[in-house]
Amino acid sequence: MRVQMLGLCRFSYLGLRGFQVEHDDMEERRAFLYDEGRLVRRWHWFEKITLPALRAQTDPDFTLVVMTGPDLPDPWLSLLQQLCEEMPQLELALVPPMRFHLQACKHALLPHKDMSADVIGHFRMDDDDAVAIDYVARAREDFGLVEPAWHKRKAASIDYMRGLVLKATESGVSVEPRMIYNAVAGLTVYLPPGDERSATQLPHWRLGHHMPGLILPDEIMFCRFLNHDNDSGAIGPGYDFDGPPPDAARVLAERFKIDLADINRDARDFGLPQAGRKHWGAT
């Protein structure tokens, strides 16, 4: 069966719902999202954490829709437009502010669904998280493992739950090996092309209500990056790795093309403490 890999990444999208940091009105949220210092940091981590492994995917046949607002200030809007011209896998969706977040995500994804595919492998990621360089290849190949369940329910998921949690503060970046159930990055939701839902419409923390799923914990497949500008910063339910911890610098370089020494310096240069969020860094 032919699987289209289709993902969504929000970059400072202006909308009133779908976020844990709340604001009373659109202007208050605009001031928060479009603060220059915040956008400088968001773009920096997007370039250093998220993009390297996307550029290096062993299977380059995927589409990642980068969703933002048409009034995103320059130079960041121009930078996104240039990036999407350079990387054929990236599609820029300029979605006007919408009160209902799920409607906005549906609006962004719909034009990029391949209705001739047998299955769409939906994934989502924040603009400061990362998936391993073989994520697309694995998610496409491993669909065969859940195909029998998919034929019964026309929905299935695969959770690559072994990952690394990076925490950036004014002291630098710490790395914690972690098994996380249905983390946003590294989770694939397989649906028919005609299904109007996506990985965004189906809450990852209660995915079992909607479909059967498979956990594949063999490889380190994602990075969850916690920093001052996270929306929530919660790690998610899970537990530590068994056995000795991996060589974090080596794994980050080989699996994600991330330079740990480089981002460690960057975090110190930004000099920001952990975010004042209720669940920041909590499991």
The per-residue b/e assignment along 255-274, b for 16 or more CB within 10 angstroms, e otherwise, is bbbbebeebbebbeebebeb
Of the pLDDT bands very low, low, confident and very high (cuts 50, 70, 90), residue 16 is: low
Residue 75, preceding bond cis, omega within 30 degrees? yes
User: Contact at 8 Å (CB) between 255 and 163?
Assistant: no
Average pLDDT over residues 155-179: 95
Q: Does the residue 277 lie in any domain?
A: no
CATH code where residue 45 lies: 3.90.550
Q: Does the residue 178 lie in any domain?
A: yes
Q: Does the residue 281 lie in any domain?
A: no
What's residue 27's pLDDT?
Answer: 83
What's residue 24's pLDDT?
Answer: 63
| Among the listed residues 147, 225, 154, the one whose alpha carbon sits nearest the alpha carbon of residue 186 | 225
- Name the average pLDDT for the chain: 91
| Among the listed residues 283, 265, 219, the one whose alpha carbon sits nearest the alpha carbon of residue 246 | 219
Q: Does the residue 278 lie in any domain?
A: no
| Among the listed residues 3, 12, 154, the one whose alpha carbon sits nearest the alpha carbon of residue 73 | 12
Q: Does the residue 276 lie in any domain?
A: no
Q: Does the residue 282 lie in any domain?
A: no
User: Contact at 8 Å (CB) between 74 and 248?
Assistant: no
Of the pLDDT bands very low, low, confident and very high (cuts 50, 70, 90), residue 200 is: confident
Q: Does the residue 279 lie in any domain?
A: no
Phi, psi of 162 (to 5 degrees): -90, 120
Structural domain boundaries enclosing 180: 3-270
User: Contact at 8 Å (CB) between 248 and 263?
Assistant: no
What's residue 201's pLDDT?
Answer: 78
Number of domains in the chain: 1
What's residue 73's pLDDT?
Answer: 96
79-130: pLDDT as tens digits: 999 999 999 999 999 999 887 888 899 999 999 999 999 999 999 999 999 9
215-249: pLDDT as tens digits: 999 999 999 999 988 866 678 788 898 877 799 99
Predicted structure pTM score: 0.93
